[in-house]
């Protein structure tokens, strides 16, 4: 039915408009009462649209008055990489969620996005980054490191991050992203043509720095929520519920804060190892899903030359991507983490 454009809400117009790759479009709602500053990203990877759809739904509810921001502020970026989104693929010219940082001499589209996205992130206290994944599986959240003063990813807000992660909805949590990358980068340095830009980027010590790592580096806290398989309709509901729970937990809305989950429920895995796909004929031994258990020595896949790739110990496969481009992450190996999770971190209240 034709509709008078004047009567469409902002969010409905968003849904009908192809994003312009030359813009980073954001929507900010700032209450007159001070509070925490939240930013929610969708489609950092262009083929991961559950966050975009969930953000559109929340924007419509904010427009229609079903949700009211009563303190602090929230910024929504429905489509973070519009070029990738337009192409319906993970990346535009490269992966926006790696080597993310401002640069004086941008070399590609994602460098140019970073130059506006990074300052935007730095204006906020908390980031919720909404993604989906390739293989079927249950949703999970990725948290940063425990508090530490190390050189790789120093951090002081782990309790706040944990308490939010425990309230998003999904019960599966993963840690250990950046230090696993540091090892992966060392392995990559042994391979490939270092003159090629893709290789240069993937062997840069900052390769593992994406949106959440950048957010932590500027004093905020951040969670990546993997909402489900790319095509899974339920992933939109997971993303939507996570946004609503975050708004309530951070007390940006007057809804009752979501209760912490029962103690034994969350399942925290620690990423230990990343294995790259080297060749287009490298193939998995079976169809893997995230959180599939493996036994030490079990065959995970076979290289194109017949070399077996085996699990280093008892553990879990995470982020398997049977179609990973050669030179990119094929799968991660994880083990149960012994890190205690604190549900009572009183939401971040960061003074920066
Ligand atoms: Zn993603």
Top-ranked range on mean pLDDT: pick from 199-203, 207-211, 308-312: 308-312
Average pLDDT over residues 222-244: 96
Going from the Cα of 350 to the center of ligand 1, the distance in angstroms, rounded, reads 27
- pLDDT(33) > 80: yes
User: Measured between alpha carbons, how far is 110 from 115 in angstroms, rounded to an integer?
Assistant: 9
- For the beta carbon of residue 26, count every other beta carbon within 10 angstroms: 17
Q: What is the mean pLDDT of the chain?
A: 88
User: Measured between alpha carbons, how far is 82 from 11 in angstroms, rounded to an integer?
Assistant: 16
Going from the Cα of 271 to the center of ligand 1, the distance in angstroms, rounded, reads 17
CA 236, 241, 243, 244 torsion: positive or negative? positive
Going from the Cα of 285 to the center of ligand 1, the distance in angstroms, rounded, reads 24
Going from the Cα of 8 to the center of ligand 1, the distance in angstroms, rounded, reads 30
| Phi then psi dihedrals of residue 43, to 5 deg | 50, 45
Going from the Cα of 227 to the center of ligand 1, the distance in angstroms, rounded, reads 10
Going from the Cα of 131 to the center of ligand 1, the distance in angstroms, rounded, reads 5
Going from the Cα of 193 to the center of ligand 1, the distance in angstroms, rounded, reads 26
Average pLDDT over residues 11-23: 72
- pLDDT(312) > 50: yes
Going from the Cα of 91 to the center of ligand 1, the distance in angstroms, rounded, reads 10
- pLDDT(124) > 80: yes
Average pLDDT over residues 320-347: 85
Going from the Cα of 224 to the center of ligand 1, the distance in angstroms, rounded, reads 9
Spell out a b/e string for 87-118, using b for 16 or more CB atoms within 10 Å of the CB, else e.
eeebbbbbbbbbbbeeeeeeebbbbbbbeebb
Tell me how far CA of residue 295 lies from CA of 277, 282, 317, in angstroms: 21, 21, 10
Going from the Cα of 12 to the center of ligand 1, the distance in angstroms, rounded, reads 24
């Amino acid at each position: 039915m034709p509709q008078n454009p004047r009567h469409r809400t902002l969010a409905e117009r968003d849904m009908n408009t192809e994003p312009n790759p030359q813009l980073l479009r954001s929507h900010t709602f700032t209450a007159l009462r001070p509070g925490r500053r939240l930013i929610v990203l969708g489609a950092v990877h262009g083929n991961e649209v559950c966050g975009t759809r969930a953000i559109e739904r929340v924007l419509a509810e904010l427009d229609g008055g079903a949700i009211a921001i009563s303190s602090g502020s929230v910024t929504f970026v429905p489509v973070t990489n519009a070029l990738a989104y337009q192409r319906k693929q993970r990346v535009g010219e490269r992966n926006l969620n790696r080597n993310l940082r401002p640069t004086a001499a941008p070399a590609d589209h994602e460098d140019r996005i970073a130059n506006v996205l990074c300052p935007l992130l730095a204006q906020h206290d908390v980031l919720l980054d909404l993604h989906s994944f390739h293989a079927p599986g249950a949703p999970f959240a990725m948290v940063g490191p425990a508090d530490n003063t190390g050189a790789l990813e120093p951090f002081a807000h782990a309790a706040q991050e944990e308490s939010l992660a425990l309230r998003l909805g999904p019960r599966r949590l993963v840690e250990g992203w950046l230090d696993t990358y540091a090892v992966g980068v060392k392995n990559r340095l042994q391979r490939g043509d270092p003159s090629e830009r893709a290789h240069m980027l993937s062997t840069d010590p900052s390769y593992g720095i994406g949106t959440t790592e950048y957010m932590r580096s500027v004093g905020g806290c951040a969670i990546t929520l993997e909402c489900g398989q790319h095509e899974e309709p339920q992933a939109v509901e997971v993303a939507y519920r996570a946004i609503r729970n975050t708004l309530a937990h951070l007390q940006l809305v007057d809804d009752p804060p979501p209760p912490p989950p029962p103690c034994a429920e969350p399942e925290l895995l620690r990423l230990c190892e990343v294995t790259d796909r080297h060749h287009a004929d490298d193939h998995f031994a079976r169809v893997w899903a995230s959180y599939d258990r493996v036994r030490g020595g079990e065959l995970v896949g076979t290289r194109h030359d017949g070399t077996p790739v085996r699990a280093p110990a008892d553990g879990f496969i995470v982020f398997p991507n049977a179609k990973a481009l050669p030179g990119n992450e094929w799968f991660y190996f994880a083990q149960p983490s012994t890190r205690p999770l604190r549900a009572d971190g009183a939401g971040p209240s960061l003074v920066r």
